[in-house]
Amino acid sequence: MTDSLTVRDNRTGREYELAITDGTIRAADLKQIAVDGEVGLATYDPGFVNTASCRSSVTYIDGDAGILEYRGYPIEQLAEHSTFLEVAYLLINGELPTSAELEHWTHDITWHTFLHENVKQLIEGFRYDAHPMGMLMASVSALSTFYPEAKNITDADNRMLQITRLIAKMPTLGAFAYRHQLGKPYVYPDNRLSYTENFLAMLFKMSEPSYQADPRLVKALDILLILHADHEQNCSTNAVRSVGSSEVDPYSAVGAGIGALFGPLHGGANEAVLAMLRRIGSTDNIPAFIEGVKAGKEKLMGFGHRVYKNFDPRATIIKKACDDVFEVTGVNPLLKIAQELERIALADEYFVKRKLYPNVDFYSGLIYEALQFPPEMFTVLFAIGRTPGWLAQWNELVQDKDQKIARPKQIYTGIRTRDFVAIGDR
């Protein structure tokens, strides 16, 4: 066997040959490495730092080279030439659509943007100060009760219907959650508008007969949705796949993904960047802040990434989109602090040596704030953009014959085999 790994167990002197496939060995092959009478070896990998849980053809990332591709297409080309719905079609179906396919796809998405009135009543039942992500998570999960046929996940046509429904309804759910928090009346979808225009209208329309969003803002938001559409096996995608492995309906699986994205270590990073920039307050304070980071007293938010050990290609695209947005809204006063912080950090050997480059969160929060989104809506926008990726990964999981229900091993560290003591004797 040429593509193999020879392992010597120094406890027994035995050697084992493990097959190497696609740069990996199967964890189950380690079970044969055992001392007589004991359980075979397993891997210990908190956070799945070096463990592949699936085979996937959806998204490719080369962190060292700063490459991100959806179905083989570079993110730079998609952000420049595609719309979000076109990218969503690509992620779900594996190929870019023809004109006729895109027209049909757009029609189907548009047809399903409205919500059942009972879903609206569900959102109305939340407290006035409920977090929009909590409302989104609950309402997406609740859709499984409105479409009970969604549990028939082996039916390909049925899966596609649920996928279409959820991509269509996410902006409506997000906009209703936003309006609820502000105490404003909900705005129903306007199916004369594009996907992103419709979302902006549901968010910001007041008494005017029709809402006309600036095309530059529409394009910038569309790009942000594209950049967030998928990112391989991140925390929320892993949650979707893990819950989906139980063969539950897609609404429940995506609800789990939203819950994972809600966490500050995942979807809340761009909000943390804004908080950091406000705390710095002025470009004059940046040198002291940099020294604080080096001393471990401050955290440099928006720099570095678990996957990208070079630049984050999404950050470069967002940085360009900033110019178009600020041309319409006026320059965010935090931008100068961000630009100077980036300039100093990229010239400092301390950060260069550690490969700490700006990531997608460094500039996205500035754009969201310029578009008048409150910080608690940032993660909702992330979730709307990520929905096609979650569903593409779920759809792939359902059809993968290698997949089993997620059930990782553990290393037990507790006390063993104790006798019960009556309550009076404790």
Catalytic pick from 222, 249, 312, 361? Answer: 361
Catalytic pick from 222, 249, 305, 312? Answer: 305
Residue type for 119, please?
A: V
Distance CA 365, CA 327 (A): 16
Pairing of strands 67-70, 59-62: antiparallel
361 is catalytic: yes
Decide: helix, strand or coil at residue 73: strand
Pairing of strands 67-70, 73-74: antiparallel
In sign, the C-alpha dihedral spanning 228, 232, 236, 240 is positive
CA-nearest of 221, 163, 264 to 381 is 221
Distance CA 357, CA 351 (A): 8
Distance CA 298, CA 326 (A): 29
Catalytic pick from 266, 324, 348, 400? Answer: 266
Residue with tokens 């609950």: 138
305 is catalytic: yes
Answer whether 371's CB lies under 8 Å from 321's CB. no
228 is catalytic: no
Answer whether 133's CB lies under 8 Å from 375's CB. no
Active site residues: 266, 305, 361
